[in-house]
Amino acid sequence: MSRVPGVAQVRAQFFYDTDYRGYGASTSATPDAYATSEKILFQSTRNGNLSLSNFPSANGLVGNQLFQIKAVRHEVLFQAANGDVSFGTTTGIDGIAELMTLVLSGSTFDLQVNDRSAFQGPLTMTPAGGGPWGFVSDSVRPLITNGDPTGKQIYALPLPIDIDANEPVKMVEKKYSLAGPSGSLDVVGAINNFQGQKLSRAYIDGIHTRDAT
């Protein structure tokens, strides 16, 4: 990385923002932990709180910064707390693994640059490429991530997406209920009613260019 004044610094870096991150049942009174049917990421003012986001600004990249997106990734996690795998008032879900499958298969993203869709699809097609995985002590409390937690699992974009300075960037995350013969399964409600740890985080991964001074 160059440190010569007036010379641009180029680094490999990902930016991330969080859909929900919490513990126990979530309500609208705890918005950072609360899942909704639609949430817009990379548009908040949470910069500086690295537990939630490292994106520079709600208005996009500042100054003379540039970013070339080479991959989109999603990290999703549900884990029992003190052995509690209950779902509160939600019925029809049998364990963490089933919740994970329902969330991943029933959620989509739409990455937009300058209010135009640049890349969209289901969360299952944007593996995390990292995160916890395995079993704590039994098959009831699995540690599951979105895809195998290896770099080889990351879906590299065939063509990079360029973001110029001050271009607005947002990721529209949507979650859908699952229709069945006896009614719909409320996936959003299941996320919020889950009594354990929950996390959904989106990443845009690539090459970041900024002034050296």
Task: Output the pLDDT for position 1.
Answer: 43
Domain assignment of residue 201, yes or no: yes
Domain assignment of residue 142, yes or no: yes
The DSSP H or E segment spanning 44 is: none
pLDDT, tens only, 124-144:
999 988 887 776 665 666 677
Domain assignment of residue 123, yes or no: no
Q: Which domain holds residue 92?
A: 8-105+129-165+183-211
Domain assignment of residue 65, yes or no: yes
Statement: residue 44 has pLDDT above 90: no
Domain assignment of residue 117, yes or no: no
Across 106-128, average pLDDT? 94
Statement: residue 58 has pLDDT above 70: yes
Domain assignment of residue 2, yes or no: no
Domain assignment of residue 133, yes or no: yes
Q: How many domains is the chain partitioned into structurally?
A: 1
Task: Output the pLDDT for position 32.
Answer: 93
Domain assignment of residue 171, yes or no: no
Residues 6+ apart with CB under 8 A from 55: 15, 16, 17, 42, 47, 169
Residue 197 tokens read as 């740890």
Q: Residue with structure tokens 């209010």?
A: 115
What's the pTM value of the predicted model, to 2 decimals?
A: 0.88
